[in-house]
Amino acid sequence: MNTDGMQSARTARGAATRARIVDVATELVRDRGVANTTIDAVIEASKASKSQVYHYFANKDDLVLAVIQRQAECVLGTHEELLQRLNSLAGLRRWRDAVVELTRQTNCAGGCPLGSLAAELAEMPRPRAALAESFARWTSYFEAGFSAMQKHAGRRPGSDLKELSEAMLAALQGGLLLAQVTRSTRPLEVALDMAIDAVAARLKLKAPRKSTKPA
């Protein structure tokens, strides 16, 4: 193997080791919370050495930032896929139905991974900044979708789409939190339905007609 090949192999192994450490830390944080997840626990669960962990992460704070990034990739990846072709209220309701179904499949346990991290880390400057950036990206998906909805309806995009998008994300986060506490998707469904009604009214779009079965 030439020098470039050896370097490439070492880089690939290093990337795989770092990813394994982050994956394990993410799982532990999800189960235990940040405060109850120690570097030693991550070392034991990941089968990595202490020197390997500290090679990639200067301290626990650095590892927590990597966990936030990993959770953001997972959560936002799911929602981006659902929202990237959004151009109608019917599409927004399909997103709503998918979110409710995903929540139902977990028996409403766990809540939103990013929301859970925010509840624990919002008073810490670096994690708070990373989480704020993730939520801003999430809001941008709604904003782009609402703009596409207006264009699809032959309307010029309004100037208040960011505000409307933030309200939608707030409804989603609040609904997920209440679903987690009550172990029922009902609060989530109500919150999203009311938010979608507000979108329809604010953007002056007609709500999709509900299908009716013949008697």
81-132 per-position pLDDT tens digit:
888 889 899 999 999 999 999 999 999 998 999 999 999 999 999 999 999 9
Average pLDDT, the chain: 89
- What is the reported pLDDT for 178? 97
- Looking at the chain, the domain(s) classified CATH 1.10.10.60 span 9-57
The pLDDT, as a whole number, for residue 204 is 85
* Predicted local distance difference test score (pLDDT) of residue 165: 96
* Mean pLDDT for the stretch of residues 24-37: 95
Residues 61-87 have a mean pLDDT of: 93
What is the Cα–Cα distance from 189 to 160, expressed in whole angstroms? 24
CA 165 to CA 145: how far, in whole Å? 9
Query: In which band, very low, low, confident or very high, does the pLDDT at 65 lie, cut at 50, 70 and 90?
Result: very high
Q: What is the homologous superfamily of the domain 61-203 according to CATH? A: Tetracycline Repressor, domain 2 (1.10.357.10)
Query: Rg of the chain's alpha carbons, rounded to an integer?
Result: 21
**Above 80 in pLDDT, residue 43?**
yes
| 171 and 191 Cβ atoms separated by less than 8 Å | yes
Two structure tokens written together for 78: 């799911």
Tokens 């925010």 belong to: 118
CATH homologous superfamily, domain 9-57: Homeodomain-like (1.10.10.60)
Q: Is the pLDDT of residue 180 over 90?
A: yes
Residue 207: pLDDT band (50, 70, 90) is low
Question: What is the reported pLDDT for 10?
Answer: 56
pLDDT of residue 4: 44
pLDDT (average), residues 67-87: 91
Phi, psi of 87 (to 5 degrees): -150, 15
Mean pLDDT across the stretch 4-24? Answer: 75
Q: Which residue intervals of the chain bear CATH 1.10.357.10?
A: 61-203
Ranking 23-32, 67-76, 182-191, 201-210 by mean pLDDT, the lowest is: 201-210
pTM: 0.84
Six-digit token string for 138? 């999430």
Distance in angstroms (rounded) separating the CA atoms of residues 14 and 129: 27
| Cα dist from 161 to 47, 82, 113, 132, 158, whole Å | 47, 19, 25, 18, 6
Mean of pLDDT values over 65-82:
93
Is 156's pLDDT higher than 90?
no
